[in-house]
Every structure is written in C-alpha cells, then in structure tokens.
C-alpha cells in the first residue's frame, strides 16, 4: 500500500494550497480528488481577493494575511495565475457603492474598524466616487474604496499550487478518485489512511479540504461539520470594453446581505425575491461579469433565468450604460458556508492526525494561501502565521449547540424562500 506523511482530500482551492505548503515543509503528500483538480466550487466562482469583504477582526485579518502570501506567490511562482495589477504593479482595488444613508453609515463604521487593524480602506463622498468609477450612477450617497484588494484567476491558482508543489517531487495527485472512508485506530481514533474507490492509501495525517462536501468527510470520523452550501450565480455580458475602472465594484448591500444585516435596501421585488446584490467587473477579455446572489438551493448549481434578470437589473441601477448590452451566459456555484461565518482551519483534538481546511463561504479564493499555510504549520507543529488563527480552530465548535445554529440557518433559508414564493404568487395575479 502506498504510504504518505499526509493525505489531502479535495483538489479545490484549499486542497491544492494545503498540498503546496505541506510539500514546502518537506512532507510527502497525496492529493486525492474525486473529479478533476479545480472541478468543484473553485471553477464556479469569481476571483476577487482582499480583506474588505469580511467582518473586521479575525475575518478581515485573515484576508490581509492571505494577500501577503499572494504577493509572495506572484514573485516566486513560475505558473501565471493572472494576478491583476496596475502599472505600478499594485492590485487594482475594490469600490463599494452606498445607496442610502444607512449603508453609508455602515460603510464608515467598517472603515474605522479595519483602519484600526492596519487595513487600508476609505469612505468616499459622491464626488470622489465619480472619479473612481466615472461610469457609475450619479445619484449615490457615497462609497468605500479599498485600493489593495485585487483579483486572480481562481482555477489557475489551484493549478499553480499543484504545479509548484510537484517541483519538490513530494506530491502525488490522484484525480477521479473518491474517498469513501477514513481508517482510524479503534482505540485512540488516530487516523491511519483513507479508503478510496481505487484502493487504500496509508498516512498518519489526513486533511479535510472537501469544501461543501466537508460534512460527509467529517462524518467518516464521527464529526458533525456545520457547513451548508450557499448558492451564487454570475452573468457574463457580450463585449462591453472597460466599464468598471477598479478590479471590482460592488453595492455595499453585497457585504451586508452576506451577514444577513442589509436593513431595507431600496430594491425591486424581483431583486428582493432572489437576494441579489451587485458585484461587477469588466474583465481583461472585454466582457463584463455581473453577480450575484446568496440563496440556499441544496447542492444545485443550475442557473436560474429570473436571477439573470435580477442581476441585470441591479447592474443597470449602478451602471446605466449596461442597458445597451446583452448577456451571453450565466453560471452558478455553491459556497461552503460555515454556520458561524468563519472558516474551520486547524487540527482536531478528538481525532489525532485529522485536520480541517473548509467552510470558506464566499472568501475561499482569497483565503486559499493562508489556509494552506496554517495547515502546514499545524501539521508540523510550527508557530502559526498570525495571532488570531486560533479563532478559526475547530475547537470553537466544541460545546456549541450545532442543532441551534442549523435551526437559525433554516429560518433564514425559509424567510428567503417565503419572499421568493410571495413574488412568484404576485406574478400569477
Ligand atoms: C458564485 C461564487 C462567487 C464567488 N466569488 C468569490 C470571490 O470573488 N472571491 C473569493 O475569495 N471567493 C469567492 N467564492 C468562494 C470560493 O469560490 C469558495 O470559497 C472556494 O472555491 C472553496 O474552495 P474549496 O477548496 O473549499 O472547495 P472546492 O473548490 O469545492 O473543492 C472541494 C473539492 O473536494 C472534492 N471532494 C469532495 N468530496 C470528495 C471525496 N469524497 N473524495 C475526493 N474528493 C472530494 C470536490 O470534488 C471538490 O473538487 C465564490 C463562490 C461562488 C459560488
């Protein structure tokens, strides 16, 4: 039987990053993916990276730490992962639009908190907003600018991790190979390896980097993992040229709805029914990519045409010139949503040799590097990359009532469904 120092389950952003950083520590690693590398959520996503789309504190700080690693990677990787930069080689930045005093106040609060943490972020008045994004609507209340946030090509980052890790000769990659079970010592519960549909592999350490499917892997070692799939959908326009100037423009409601606190946005019933908020970028290809939404649809990744209409409507609200362009395609994905809004990154005391690298919801592209780095430090007993890392540990769930978290999520999900159903009923009248 093939034997490794550590086996990583899942060839998405987290799994490939873990594989890379673990090989950098000199460990012999097997990466096991049931489909193809980057075939999961990481290829149904945008590639925006940064600290701003997260709650101030450990959440925004892990984003800032990961950005430092991206900066290192772009200098050291031979594999190009399309890190978007401007002529000064800086990331091109995010701009947020506030459509009410409520949103502008919330944005100012966020700016104050993140600035205190050393994250560069500014509240801007409507005049500055127009300088930053000349094509945006003229009647906005204000905005927020985050010059150091940027973008990458997500699946190229995953391929890049694999290609760079292979250079050490310490990585074996098994695609089209599904993990069916995890072997454990019956007395100590320590992991001993994995059982797959292609045979068994031995290792004293195993990483759960299975994204939305992490609960199924956790169940193999008796864990209840509080992660649910949270649906998102993006629409691509025909060639528009450069409508947005920054790497990403978003309505501030995008940030607020992520954390279920959007107040009452001044929006159309269609937009409300599908919980749609604008994020938009004119890509290097000349197409404009517009999103998005947050819904609970189980594991479905089927695009829905009403969401395309709602996204288009939101796009036109903020960039009126979009009304003259057609959509050419749409795609959807599921975010691995951890029920307390923070990823789970650590070892697992009750299952020796088992590690969690999952639950990154809408931030897994940003957080790929820091997650892999932290797992490599847990696995080798080295000091952790940043001081707040312990707040991401699995141990925070010990003693929590997971059923209560699930119930709350079900209520949120039902409330969203009720708004959608009321909208659909109104169409029939
Ligand atoms: C519409 C949308 C937009 C987004 N935009 C952004 C963004 O701009 N910036 C950002 O930072 N994040 C964004 N995200 C979030 C980001 O895409 C995810 O957080 C990230 O891709 C999760 O990576 P992962 O490695 O955890 O999961 P995945 O990429 O899903 O990888 C998990 C892998 O595990 C494999 N697997 C599962 N079970 C098994 C098994 N039993 N055996 C073997 N393999 C298995 C799966 O096949 C899969 O390939 C977005 C998400 C969506 C849906």
- Residue whose Cα lies nearest atom 24 of ligand 1: it is 211
Nearest-atom number in ligand 1 for the CA of 361 is 19
- Cβ(111) to ligand 1 under 6 A? no
- Same domain for 44 and 82, yes or no, is yes
DSSP H helices in 25-144: 58-76, 101-116, 126-132
Query: Which numbered atom of ligand 1 lies nearest the CA of 248?
Result: 8
Name residues whose C-beta falls within 8 Å of residue 197's C-beta, 6 or more positions apart in sequence.
Answer: 177, 178, 180
Say whether both 215 and 67 belong to one domain. yes
Tell me how many domains the chain contains.
2
Q: Which parts of 381-401 fold into alpha helices (H)?
A: none
- DSSP three-state, residue 44: coil
Element (H, E) at 278: strand 276-282
Task: Check whether residue 155 and residue 21 sit in a common domain.
Answer: yes
- Start-end of H helices in 288-363: 305-318
Regarding the beta carbon of 209 and ligand 1, being less than 6 Å apart is answered: yes
Q: Taking a C-beta distance cutoff of 8 angstroms, is the pair 198, 191 a contact?
A: no
Centroid of ligand 1 to alpha carbon of 266 (angstroms)? 32
pLDDT of 89 reads 62
Residue 290 lies in a domain: yes
What φ, ψ does residue 129 adopt, rounded to 5°?
-55, -40
CA of 13 to the centre of ligand 1 (A): 6
Q: What is the pLDDT of residues 231-260, one digit of tens each?
A: 999 999 999 999 999 989 999 999 998 887
Task: Please tell me if the CB atom of residue 343 comes closer than 6 angstroms to any atom of ligand 1.
Answer: no
Asked whether 215 lines ligand 1 (CB < 6 A), one says no
The pLDDT, as a whole number, for residue 257 is: 87
Domain range spanning residue 169?
Answer: 1-89+149-226+339-398
CATH number at residue 328: 3.30.9.10
- The CB of 213 under 6 Å from ligand 1? The reply is yes
Q: Is residue 428 part of a domain?
A: no
> If you count them, how many residues does the chain have?
429
Note whether residue 22 is domain-resident.
yes
Same structural domain for residues 185 and 323? no
369, 385: one domain: yes
Last residue of a domain, one of 308, 338, 368: 338
Q: Are 162 and 171 in contact (CB under 8 A)?
A: yes
Task: Say how many Å lie between the CA of residue 291 and the centre of ligand 1.
Answer: 17
Residues of the chain with pLDDT below 50 are: none
What is the DSSP pairing of strand 142-146 with strand 122-124?
antiparallel
Give strand pairing partners of 94: 146, 248
Nearest CA, atom 33, ligand 1: 10
Any domain includes 407:
no
Looking at the fold, whether 23 and 127 belong to one and the same domain comes out as no
Same-domain check for residues 82 and 197 = yes
Are residue 246 and residue 295 in the same domain, yes or no? Answer: yes
Ligand 1 centroid, distance to 232 Cα (angstroms): 12
The answer to whether residues 142 and 153 belong to one domain is no
CATH classification at residue 63: 3.50.50.60
Task: Clarify whether residues 243 and 289 are in a common domain.
Answer: yes
Tokens representing residue 59 in the block: 């959440």
Taking the C-alpha atoms of residue 267 and residue 252, their distance in angstroms, rounded to an integer, is: 13
What is the reported pLDDT for 91?
60
58 and 102 assigned to the same domain? no
The two three-digit tokens of residue 418, written as one number = 């009720």
Answer yes or no: are the C-beta atoms of 294 and 311 closer than 8 Å.
Answer: no
Say what the pLDDT of residue 428 is.
Answer: 86
Distance separating alpha carbons of residues 334 and 412, to the nearest angstrom: 17
115 and 201, same domain (yes or no): no
* Ligand 1 in reach of 359 Cβ (< 6 A): no
Domain ends where: 321, 338, 355? 338
State the Cα–Cα distance between residues 423 and 428, nearest whole angstrom. Answer: 9
């Amino acid at each position: 039987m093939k034997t490794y120092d550590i086996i990583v389950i899942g060839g998405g952003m987290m799994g490939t990053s873990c594989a890379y950083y673990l090989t950098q520590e000199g460990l012999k690693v097997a990466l096991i993916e049931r489909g193809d590398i980057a075939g999961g959520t990481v290829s149904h996503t945008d590639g925006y990276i940064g600290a701003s789309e997260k709650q101030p504190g450990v959440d925004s700080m892990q984003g800032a730490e990961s950005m430092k690693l991206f900066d290192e990677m772009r200098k050291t990787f031979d594999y190009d992962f399309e890190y978007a930069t401007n002529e000064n080689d800086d990331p091109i930045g995010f701009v947020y639009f506030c459509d009410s005093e409520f949103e502008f106040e919330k944005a100012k609060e966020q700016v104050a908190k993140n600035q205190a943490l050393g994250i560069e972020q500014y509240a801007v008045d409507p005049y500055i907003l127009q300088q930053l994004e000349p094509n945006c609507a003229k009647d906005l209340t204000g905005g927020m600018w985050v010059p150091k946030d940027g973008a990458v090509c997500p699946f190229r980052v995953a391929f890049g991790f694999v290609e760079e890790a292979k250079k050490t000769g310490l990585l074996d990659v098994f695609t089209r190979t599904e993990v069916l079970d995890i072997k454990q010592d019956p007395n100590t519960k320590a992991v001993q390896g994995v059982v797959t549909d292609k045979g068994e592999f031995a290792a004293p350490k195993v990483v759960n980097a299975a994204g939305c499917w992490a609960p199924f892997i956790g169940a193999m070692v008796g864990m209840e993992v509080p992660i649910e799939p949270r649906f998102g959908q993006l629409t691509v326009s025909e060639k528009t040229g450069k409508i947005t100037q920054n790497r990403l423009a978003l309505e501030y409601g995008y940030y607020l709805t992520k954390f279920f606190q959007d107040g009452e946005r001044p929006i159309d019933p269609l937009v409300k029914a599908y919980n749609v908020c604008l994020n938009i970028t004119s890509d290097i290809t000349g197409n404009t990519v517009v999103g998005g939404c947050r819904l609970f649809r189980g594991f479905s990744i089927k695009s829905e045409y009403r969401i395309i209409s709602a996204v288009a409507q939101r796009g036109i609200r903020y960039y009126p010139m979009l009304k003259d362009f057609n959509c050419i395609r749409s795609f959807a994905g599921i975010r691995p949503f951890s029920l307390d809004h923070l990823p789970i990154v650590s070892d697992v005391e009750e299952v020796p040799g088992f590690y969690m690298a999952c639950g990154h919801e809408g931030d897994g592209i940003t957080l790929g590097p820091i997650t892999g780095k932290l797992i490599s430090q847990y696995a080798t007993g080295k000091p952790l990359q940043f001081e707040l890392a312990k707040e991401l540990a699995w141990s925070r769930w010990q003693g929590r009532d997971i059923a209560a978290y699930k119930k709350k999520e079900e209520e949120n999900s039902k409330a969203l469904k009720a708004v959608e159903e009321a909208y659909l009923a109104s169409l029939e009248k």
